[in-house]
Amino acid sequence: MATPTASKHAPTQVVATPPVSTPFSASNHHPAFSPHGPRSVVPSPQQFKKSPANSNTLYGYPSGSGGGHPTTSSFGGYDSPSAALALGGVPGLAELGLDGMSAPGMGGLGGPGRGDEDDRKRRLQQVLEILKTNKGRLSEAGIERLARRVGLDCVWEDHMGSGGSTRTLIIAGSALALDIDFSNNVVKKVSLSFPESAEIVTRHTQKAGDILLRDLQFGPNESPLTKMLDRFAANLERLATLDKLSVIPGLNCHEAIAGIYESLERLHKWEVARLKEQDNMADKDDEYIGRTAMCKRSGKPIMHTRDRLGLSIDYWQERHQIKSKSLSRDKEKTWALLIECASLPALVYTPIRVSEKWISPEILKADPAAEDLLLTAEDGPVLDWLQPENTMLPSTEPPKADAMEGIDQASGQKFPEVMFIAKFDPPLIVPYGVAMQIYGSVNAPLDMYQTSTFDGLMFPPGPEDKSEPGEARMIKQQTTVSVFDENGEKSTKIHKNTLFIDKIDYGRTLTELPFSHPRQLVEMLPRLRQYAFLSTLLRNSFNPEKAIPEEEKKSPGKTKMDKFAEFMSPASAEEISTLPLDVSLTTQPLSLKLVFPFKDRTANVRFDINLNGAVDVKEQNLLDEDAMDDGKRLTVADLGRMLEIAEDLGIWAEFVRRRLG
């Protein structure tokens, strides 16, 4: 075997010489994997693995660059891919952030240290988080993969029948079972069950199964290549989360949420019955009375609604006061609190309790104390809320001296490491002071370092917004308003709306909130409705997505003579019919001041938006209160009532101009 020697005129260089027994050693033979090589003789994988790759070849093929210079090698100047990988020299890995994958102990030869490994793990974790957002497409393998990803077990069963072969995917957890029947990769049936659960849980399984079936059915213009599993994945993840948090036997999170529904449903039915006894509800149908109880009383609990599994407490709906059979209530925007469970981070929050007796069967407290009367809203009933017993689990840990660790020293049991949470759907924007009150009512800490203005959250500034954060803002929007005359003929009016925000206030977006008792949620609903109505009113009058900048864009290319000609020309019919509306927003107290042309003067009206979205007119110069002796004339209360129904400042202004003009 040749021995490397040093040249007299060149620096010493070590050259690796391949063994004689390898197919690369013979110069008169073609490479073993070359198309020109012998096809009957192929080296074994062991022989090929032991043979070092020449710097001029890649698995027997030329590298493409030719020559034997190390810098032109396919492995970045290394004799073999293993050496290149060990020394971190494989091209392309640097772009992926995965270079330097050396063997242990190679850190001194260019391998990464501990910090590089942590950074690479962090990048890989980021890639996995991105991949988690893709739930996959509808197929047998896709649903099974999704179920295993959320931590549920899967078993397949094959069936033969007159209609052909079918397969059933059984998805099981500790407290649930989901059967999905397939026929040629098409979902035919979905069955959801909760073994060993109470009747308050199992009575809602059919409704939940129908939602899951709709999630897995092909809609119009959908195919296995386009049907995604996003909706089904969201519902399955909710089921899996409750299943993981459950400790069977002892704690069933499905039963805990169903218990809250039972208590609030009794309260809702009682409130509906009381509304029917009122004189102003004598001519109203049951649907209208139910919406009134939802938007003025304690909300409406619903299990499995709007294609979403779980408990929803609806507390506000757009146009809920309009009595029209042509309206589709399912399409109207609804505000709700979604009741779920989450892991208990610490004993700062009250652990979950499983009960359906959160309120007494009589609903009203027979003998309310003075404290109860003070905490109850004006003219409101004193509800008889109950405090269920704590739910305890057997503790497998040794006794601890500190009772705050969740261990009951007397019984040797522990509190569940689970709590209730309410998610705002949609998220609700409120001033910072209101957010502090809401968080304080559930004894939850509020992050004081998140500073955003209320108007900045309600109307996010666009790229053309020139105002600085914290400065007064002016938002303009041109809208088209439908107007009906006395004969019912429809026409349109153009409004140029301007919103002035002079006094800046900080705000917060409510997304989720821990709670321990449904009473806490019911008591905050009047305040939530106040800002749900405000957001509806501002969105209808000033669409944030279509808001124009404060300074109107000037038409380019116009000369002074063109501008003078426009000034001297008579106004067009469109300009004459355009109505300017100026609105000023104040958050403390929550009020809107509206100014617009009316008859031969300027109308000036101030609305206060109170709890439950009630509108009170504090200032106005439209009506002469001293001359209101005719019962057919509008009153100040009618002006506020009309804004509650219209939910649009432009529609309200046109109503007043037609009625009082």
The reply to whether 215 and 145 lie within a common domain is yes
Please state whether 640 falls in left (phi above 0), alpha (psi between -120 and 50) or beta: alpha
C-alpha angle 123-124-126 in degrees, rounded to nearest 5 = 65
The reply to whether 152 and 213 lie within a common domain is yes
Is 29 inside a domain boundary?
yes
Is 387 inside a domain boundary?
no
Supply φ then ψ for residue 623, to 5 degrees.
-110, 145
Task: Provide mean pLDDT across the span 266-277.
Answer: 96
In this structure, are residues 583 and 541 in contact, taking their beta carbons and an 8 Å threshold? yes
The reply to whether 148 and 220 lie within a common domain is yes
Single out the residue of 225, 189, 231 nearest to residue 209, CA to CA. Answer: 189
pLDDT (0 to 100) of residue 401: 45
pLDDT digits (tens, 9 = 90+) for 415-472: 999 999 999 999 999 999 999 999 999 999 998 887 889 999 998 887 777 777 667 8
Is 327 inside a domain boundary?
no
More confident residue, 463 or 361: 361
The reply to whether 144 and 221 lie within a common domain is yes
The reply to whether 76 and 144 lie within a common domain is no
User: What percent of the chain shows pLDDT beyond 70?
Assistant: 70
Q: Domain limits at 151?
A: 140-225
Highest mean pLDDT among 123-127, 267-271, 396-400: 267-271
pLDDT at 272 over 80: yes
Longest dimension (CA), the chain: 123
Is 202 inside a domain boundary?
yes
Is 582 inside a domain boundary?
no
In this structure, are residues 393 and 251 in contact, taking their beta carbons and an 8 Å threshold? yes
Task: Provide mean pLDDT across the span 298-326.
Answer: 92
CA distance 392 to 646: 51
pLDDT digits (tens, 9 = 90+) for 616-630: 999 999 987 665 555
pLDDT (0 to 100) of residue 379: 64
CA distance 102 to 105: 8
Single out the residue of 408, 359, 405, 367 nearest to residue 384, CA to CA. Answer: 359
Is 44 inside a domain boundary?
yes
Single out the residue of 545, 342, 534, 298 nearest to residue 434, CA to CA. Answer: 534
The reply to whether 155 and 218 lie within a common domain is yes
The reply to whether 73 and 147 lie within a common domain is no
Q: Which of 61, 91, 121 is the last residue of a domain?
A: 91
Q: Tokens at residue 1, please?
A: 């075997």
Q: Which of 225, 242, 269 is the last residue of a domain?
A: 225
8-state DSSP, 281: G
The reply to whether 146 and 212 lie within a common domain is yes
Poorest-pLDDT segment among 1-15, 160-174, 310-324, 436-450:
1-15
How long, in residues, is the chain? 661
Q: Which of 91, 121, 155 is the last residue of a domain?
A: 91
In this structure, are residues 535 and 543 in contact, taking their beta carbons and an 8 Å threshold? no
DSSP sequence for 146-159: HHHHTT-EEEEEEE
Beta bridge partners of 184: none
Is 11 inside a domain boundary?
no
Amino acid at 430: V
The reply to whether 144 and 76 lie within a common domain is no
Strands 164-172 and 601-609: unpaired
Amino acid at 441: S
In order of 328, 533, 552, 607, 651, the CA distances from 540 in angstroms are 18, 11, 21, 16, 10
CA distance 200 to 196: 12
Is 455 inside a domain boundary?
no
The reply to whether 84 and 150 lie within a common domain is no
pLDDT (0 to 100) of residue 577: 65
pLDDT at 211 over 90: yes
pLDDT digits (tens, 9 = 90+) for 185-200: 899 999 999 998 999 9
pLDDT digits (tens, 9 = 90+) for 88-114: 444 444 444 444 444 444 444 444 456
In order of 142, 429, 465, the CA distances from 451 in angstroms are 42, 13, 19
Counted domains in the chain: 2
Q: Tally helices (H) and strands (E) across the chain.
A: 17, 22
The single residue listed with the structure tokens 């005359």 is 485
